Amino acid sequence: MEYGGFLLEKQERNEAENRTITKMAQHWLQNKKMQVKEATYVKYYNILNNHIMEEFSDIQCTAVTTNVMEAYIEQKLTSGKRDGRPLAEKTVKDIVSVLKDISAFALRHNIEIPCRFDLIKIRVPSSQINILSVKDEQKIKAYLQQSDVEYLCATGILLSMYMGLRLGEVCALKKQNILLDIGVLQVRSTMQRIQDISPNRIHKTKIIITEPKSRSSIRDIPIPDFLTQRLKHFHKMTDDTYILTGSPNYYIEPRTLENILKKYMRECGIQEINYHTLRHTFATRCIEAGFDAKTLSEILGHSSVNITLNRYVHSSMERKRKCMMELC
């Protein structure tokens, strides 16, 4: 009887352990590994290990109330970094999103976390998005088309400027994705550098080439005429040739291409920009040229028109001035 009581007590301890946030988070992460891409898994792994596992150590799921969660969020927003500085609102929002998903996962296993995540709101300030002025856009375009500028890298940058390709999409682009006979460029892959969390890793980070970030990002884009002429340069290359290097054996990674763009900007006498500014500029010019939002959304590879209009289309001062003058 005493032995039976010991076994029952041990079982209760194990069940209690399995009802802690940290144990539930471990189960959740293991489940996510089978569902998400490697880069997303690494993001979740870092959120758990940097912000959740230690701070919720041995805390029971039933103890995480809305008040507890709000106090935790306040601490993250004021002194969430290891050096005591505040975490960015976007980072805290990502952490809460993970905890909310862990809560839903726990509920599927009949364990309730009482926190009302629907009542928790974190304001993420809208970031200032810049676009190239028409003058600067024409200046960099003319620069990239000069004969003494490195042809392959210049071509990749022009593809972002006039077809809206993301940085990683350009770096992963191969000759097989350019169908000149029908005038279409296929977006089928993206490249990014992520943290290597494997136990036998040699370096802290690694390059991965995967399908684009979402199903809608897999797309076919008609090639503008001036770029068609430029892309004919690649017709003798093998299908597995990277567009940015002219070789199937090595590539240019996103960080390097962004530095190349900044170098070109300095040589043009233009203020340095983030590479993604090219995509924002492309979207804005398309709307100014009369593109309907649905067409532009599909060209950019967005899952909804709202993303295109709210995040990527920006009215330039030149456009605002022109519209105001039309009132006269």
Domain stops at, among 119, 153, 175 = 119
Residue 11 sits in a domain of what CATH number? 1.10.150.130
3-state secondary structure the chain: CHHHHHHHHHHHHHHHHHCEHHHHHHHHHHHHCCCCCHHHHHHHHHHHHHHHCCCCCCCEHHHCCHHHHHHHHHHHHHHCCCCCCCCCHHHHHHHHHHHHHHHHHHHHCCCCCCCCHHHCCCCCCCCCCCCCCHHHHHHHHHHHCCCCCCHHHHHHHHHHHHHCCCHHHHHHCEHHHEECCCCEEEECCEEEEEECCCCCCCCCEEEEEECCCCHHHCEEEECCHHHHHHHHHHCCCCCCCECCCCCCCCCCCHHHHHHHHHHHHHHHCCCCCCCHHHHHHHHHHHHHCCCCHHHHHHHHCCCCHHHHHHHHCCCCHHHHHHHHHCCC
In this structure, what token pair is assigned to residue 163? Answer: 């077809």
pLDDT average per 10 residues of sequence, the chain (328 residues): 45 58 94 93 95 90 94 93 91 95 94 93 74 93 91 96 97 96 96 93 93 90 94 91 95 97 94 92 88 90 81 66 70
In this structure, the answer to whether residues 60 and 110 fall within a common structural domain is yes
In this structure, the answer to whether residues 296 and 202 fall within a common structural domain is yes
Identify the domain containing residue 35 by its residue range. Answer: 2-119
In this prediction, residue 12 carries a pLDDT of 43
In this prediction, residue 68 carries a pLDDT of 94
In this structure, the answer to whether residues 63 and 173 fall within a common structural domain is no
Domain stops at, among 119, 154, 181 = 119
Residue 236 sits in a domain of what CATH number? 1.10.443.10
Task: Report how many domains make up the chain.
Answer: 2
In this structure, the answer to whether residues 159 and 77 fall within a common structural domain is no
Say if 182 falls within a structural domain.
Answer: yes
In this structure, the answer to whether residues 86 and 171 fall within a common structural domain is no
In this structure, the answer to whether residues 276 and 202 fall within a common structural domain is yes
In this prediction, residue 274 carries a pLDDT of 93
In this prediction, residue 208 carries a pLDDT of 96
Say if 127 falls within a structural domain.
Answer: no
